[in-house]
Amino acid sequence: MTSTPREPTVLSATTVADAIDAPEAASPGAPWTPVPLLRASGLVKRFGAVEALAGATIEVHTHEVVAIVGDNAAGKSTFAKIVAGVLQPDGGLLELAGEPVSIPSPSAARDLGIATVFQDLAVAGNLDVTANLFLGREQRIAGTPLLHEGEMELAARKLLHQLGARIPSVRTRVADLSKGQQQSVAIARTLLGQPRLVVLDEPTASLSVAATAEVLTHIERLRDLGLGVVLISHNLNDVRAIADWIVVLRHGRNNGTFRGSSATNEELIAAITGATRADGHLEAYRG
């Protein structure tokens, strides 16, 4: 597998704010292409005797939310970690926009335009919302070590607005936000890297009903921006509400693909528990 990094992106707070305002960025009308944004085929990952992934195949297009569901130990988080460059697969092929890629590290994933939000969120509670959004990407006034606070605040407000996030102030300490608001900050931060693909690992776990609804709105916005979204979740109601496609993993293998708009909890549970068997991959269902 060869690595195909994107052109490096030079970011500034204003270009970020402008980019998220740009009509084409927000337009849901960009053409759908037959080439998936990400295609992971036949993925294998072993941990000693445990085969966490045993040939799983998952693809996601731009403007699309693909949910991955499955019982505990089905291999969902292992898939997320491989796409995030945290783990290396023992077999299988990763393709981005039709090109084979390797993702040897989290920074390689970022260079390829892949952003992942894990359950721990990795937000800094002692810093405010703006500082969290720009952590590691701080904007400085040209020729000085001084931070461009005004520009960063402006971009932070626009980003959160774009996502539909309700945060009291971009100067609030993240530790003082609710769990749902912290999730909003973590998702907003991914946008600053101008990703093509966002992977969310259990973003609604342990959230209230209201906070869950807000996070689902963020996911819709990401899709409207033209991104591909992979949503890993145990919550079947959430995935049925938001996902274009639902891929069931069982023991590291595909066990059914369903349209989010028509899947029922009963058929999803049957696939998750192994009461029904289906190894067809998503491409076979699109037709």
Ligand X SMILES: Nc1ncnc2c1ncn2[C@@H]1O[C@H](COP(=O)(O)OP(=O)(O)OP(=O)(O)O)[C@@H](O)[C@H]1O
Residues in contact with ligand X by the rule CB under 6 A: 47, 50, 52, 70, 72-78
- Smallest distance from the beta carbon of 278 to ligand X, in angstroms? 18
- Smallest distance from the beta carbon of 258 to ligand X, in angstroms? 17
| DSSP reduced 3-state for 95 | strand
Nearest to 151 by CA among 10, 12, 9: 12
Nearer to ligand X, 72 or 262 (CB): 72
Q: Which helix (H) or strand (E) holds 108?
A: helix 106-111
Nearer to ligand X, 74 or 131 (CB): 74
Nearer to ligand X, 114 or 152 (CB): 114
- Smallest distance from the beta carbon of 69 to ligand X, in angstroms? 9
Nearer to ligand X, 52 or 188 (CB): 52
| DSSP reduced 3-state for 177 | coil
- Smallest distance from the beta carbon of 191 to ligand X, in angstroms? 25
Structure tokens at 103: 């993702």
Helices (H), 194-248: 209-224, 236-242
The order of strands in the sheet holding 50-60 is 50-60, 38-47, 91-96, 99-100
Nearer to ligand X, 158 or 250 (CB): 250
| Alpha-carbon torsion, ordered 139, 115, 191, 233, to 10 deg | -140
Residue 116 CA: distances (Å) to CA of 86, 119, 125, 201, 232:
10, 10, 19, 8, 11
